[in-house]
Each structure stands twice: as C-alpha cells, then as structure tokens.
Structure 1
Amino acid sequence: MNTTKSTYRLMMLLLLPLAFASCKKDEDLDPWAGLEDGKSTLIKDLAGDTNGSMGDEAEGKTKKGFDVFLFRFSDKKQIWLRNAADSARWLKTDEWDLAFTGPYNSEVFVNKGSYEFNPGYGGPATSAVVQLDKAYNLVNDAPSDGDFEQSDVNKIGWASDQYANGWFFYSLDTHIMIPIKNRTYAIQLPDGKYAKLELITAYQGNPPEVTNLNWPAPYFSFRYYVQQDGSKNLRTQ
C-alpha cells in the first residue's frame, strides 16, 4: 500500500511541471492575456477602414484615404462618417468620445469643440486629455483639473520620439507602427466624468511583434474605464 502511495506521489510530482508548462503555453498564445481586469472595457480587433489606401489605388483597395469613424464609450458604438450627411449628423455633437482619423485611422482625437483642428470643432463637447507615461493598471486617479486645462495633447497619433505626444512609433524603414508601452491617456469627458484609455494595437490579433508591413490593419484593440460616480478614482485593480 505504501509503495502504491509513493508511486502515485511520484507520478503527480512528475506531471505537475508538465501541467504548469501547458497552462503557461496557453497563456503565451493568448494575445489578450492580462488585459481584462473585470472593470475596464476591452475592445478587440475593431475594424477601421480596411478598404482605404495611402495612394490613389492599391492592390485589394478601391479608394484613396481612410474614412473617419467615431467611437462612443457608453455603448461601444462605432459611427462611420462616409459622407457629408454623416458628418453633419455627428461631428458637432457630444454623442461621441473618440475620432479615429488620418492614415490607417491611427490619429485619435477626443471630442473637443474648442480646438480648431478637432473633428468636432464648433460643437458643444469639452473633452480634455492628459498623457501619462505610466502603465494602465497603475493609473489609479485622474490628474487635477488644472492639468487637464494646461494639457497640450490635442491629437494622439505618431510619436516622433519617446518624449512626444502619441501612442505609437512609426518606422520609416519598415512602415510598421510600434505601440508605446506604459502609456495611458486620462480623459475628462464633457459630462464631467473621468476616464482612462490605453491604445494597444492597430494590427489584427494583437500580435506581440509585427514584421510584415502587409499584416491586416487597421484593426484596433484598446481598453478604457469610465468612472461613473464622477470622482477621479480610476483604479481598476
């Protein structure tokens, strides 16, 4: 009997590392591992204008440029601006939170009607944004109202260097966007609530590394948290 128990224990000791390795391998294969915290909203592979191109026409593409789309935090609504009627209906309203514009929809604006180059210019929205060089899960409080008022962050896009505003670097050699790690955006919304935002990738499947400039894009993955009680508490862990 003792021999049987010893054999069983030995087998368990031998199998445990294999089970752990298997679990670890599954986690490594999951591109979303660690991004869901039970409080934040995680958006995976939200398709931008995948029919757009940087030139007059490209293989598999049918038009020049990229149609703008808007995104609303409250109900995860994506709103396309395909024509003048769409723009007239949506832009000068406070019914959206983010605008994805520019090449590959990679240039992101909050809804700020007072900024001349904002898509919502002339509208009633009064959003403001502060860039924080800090991991998303470590941003526990929104900055002061004074920090929002003095912030010079108007567009979130290509950062020319590590000190510049922006959520990604861009290689002129490979033409690949590289998301900047540990960069979070605190947002003061028009209704007075506070939020935080992390833009994760513009490539389908959230790959750990992109080496092929033809990787499917733009497919946006990002996460955000809106504090509903009006306080500056942005703790999500």
Structure 2
Amino acid sequence: MTLTKKNHEHKMNTSNFANKTIKLLVLVILFAGFASCSDDDDKPLLEVESQTYSNLYAPQSGGQGSGEDISGAFTKFSFSTGQTTTSETEWDIAFRGTSIIINGGTTLGTMDEPERIGNVSGYIVNNTFENVEMVNTNLLEQDSNEGYVFSDWYTYSGQPNHLITPTPGKVLVLKTYDGKYAKMEIVSYYKDAPDNPNAFNGTERYYTFNYVYQPNDGVTTF
C-alpha cells in the first residue's frame, strides 16, 4: 500500500509540474504575441508627400503622318524610387509619345512594348488631385488587347495648333508593382511645362506630373 501511494504521489507531482510548464509556455507565447502586436501598432507610418517630376522624356519614332508605325522604347518610371528606370521588372508606369502603359496585363501589340512582368493595375478618376484621398480597389484594371487603362488622359486640339493638353480633372490611380498605391496628375506634355506650349519646336513629349506614393503596406489612403 505504501509503495502504491508513493507512486500515486509521484504521478500527481509529475502531472502538476507538466501542467504548470504548459501554462507557463502558454503565458510566454501570449505575452510574445501581445508584445509583437504592440510593436506593430507602435510602428510609425512613413510620411506621405506630394512630389513633382519634371521633363520625363518619352520620345517615339514614326506616327504623326509619317507613314511609319510608331516604335521606340518606353520610358519606365517607379513611384517607390521617384525615378525613371531601365529595370525589366521594377517599374510601374511607362511613357512613349502620348501612350501611357502600366506593368500589368497584356500588350496592345504595338512595336517595342515592354513585357508586363508585374501586377500593376489602375484607373482614372474624374476629380481634383487633392480630393482623391482613397483608392477604390474595385476599379483597378490592367492593360489588355482592348486598350490601355490610361489612354484617356489628354485632349488633342486639332488644327492649327495640334496641341496635346492634359484633360483637367483626370487623376491616375495605381496599385504599384510592390503592392503599394500611388496617384498622379499630368501637368504638361511640353518641356518645362510652359503656359503657352508650341507643338512645332521640338519641346513635345516631356511629361511633367505631380504624384503621391503611399509607402505603407496595406494603406489605401493618401
């Protein structure tokens, strides 16, 4: 009887020790989880600022009554760096003449279009740049063989001036290649953004635009 009682007490002590160990581990895990959440909550958001990029050159060959197909490399731009790039993958938007493409979807089939490696998407909203404060993710689309997402950004004056003018109130909204968000408005299609541009003096195809890049993960506001 004494031996059985000792065995029973030993088993009870072992069980109690195991239970205490499990409870301690649970508390440690919960504390670590709370600490992690607290660290995430306390992590400051990166600042969002409006930027201006001036004179992005987007030349093309052919077109405009030349009898030749439009060709030439697109000038690529990354919102995360705020610079043009020659990268095949890390770009958001690209320009050639009046054509603006994104790094997502499929090509329209024109000459020298870069391959869409990324998953960029976008839409145009009719509003002022300042008043576009949130991304409507339901509107995001990609380039396709039916057309470019950002084809409707400008107005052509026709004869005699033949001017390309950004249509007022057209704001371009994007989900970028790195999964963030950006908005932009095109200010001018002519070098140094003159008040009275001339389409015949070689200053065309120089984009000036304002943009805001949201660098924080999962944030859809500007």
- State whether residues 55 and 65 of structure 1, in contact with CA within 8 Å, keep that contact through their aligned partners in structure 2: no
| Cα 1:54/1:147, change in 2 over 3 Å | closer
| Cα 1:122/1:69, change in 2 over 3 Å | closer
Q: What is the aligned counterpart of 1:138 among 102, 125, 131?
A: 131
**Shift of residue 120 of structure 1?**
4.6
Amino acid at match of 1:172: G
**Shift of residue 39 of structure 1?**
1.3
Which stretches in structure 1 are left out of the alignment for 5+ residues?
1-37, 58-63, 81-89, 158-165
Q: How does 1:95-174 map to 2 (within 5 A)?
A: 95-101=90-96, 105-112=97-104, 114-117=105-108, 119-121=113-115, 123=117, 125-143=118-136, 145-148=137-140, 154-157=148-151, 166-173=152-159, 174=161
Q: How does 1:7-156 map to 2 (within 5 A)?
A: 39-49=49-59, 52=61, 54=63, 65-79=71-85, 90-91=87-88, 93=89, 95-101=90-96, 105-112=97-104, 114-117=105-108, 119-121=113-115, 123=117, 125-143=118-136, 145-148=137-140, 154-156=148-150
Aligned-partner SS, 1:138: coil
**C-alpha distance in 2 between matches for 1:181 and 1:122:** 29
Amino acid at match of 1:109: I
TM, length-normalised to structure 2: 0.63
- State whether residues 168 and 177 of structure 1, in contact with CA within 8 Å, keep that contact through their aligned partners in structure 2: yes
- State whether residues 142 and 148 of structure 2, in contact with CA within 8 Å, keep that contact through their aligned partners in structure 1: no
Amino acid at match of 1:147: L
Which stretches in structure 2 are left out of the alignment for 5+ residues?
1-47
> Which residue does the alignment assign to 1:60?
none
Supply the RMSD in Å over aligned alpha carbons: 3.0
- State whether residues 184 and 211 of structure 2, in contact with CA within 8 Å, keep that contact through their aligned partners in structure 1: yes
**C-alpha distance in 1 between matches for 2:141 and 2:206:** 32
| Cα 1:218/1:151, change in 2 over 3 Å | closer
- State whether residues 129 and 154 of structure 1, in contact with CA within 8 Å, keep that contact through their aligned partners in structure 2: no
Amino acid at match of 2:81: D
**C-alpha distance in 1 between matches for 2:214 and 2:63:** 38
Amino acid at match of 2:156: Y
- State whether residues 200 and 222 of structure 1, in contact with CA within 8 Å, keep that contact through their aligned partners in structure 2: yes
**Shift of residue 126 of structure 1?**
0.9
> Which residue does the alignment assign to 1:32?
none
**C-alpha distance in 2 between matches for 1:55 and 1:206:** 22
**C-alpha distance in 2 between matches for 1:141 and 1:155:** 19
**Shift of residue 219 of structure 1?**
1.4
Number of residue pairs the alignment of both structures matches:
165
TM, length-normalised to structure 1: 0.60
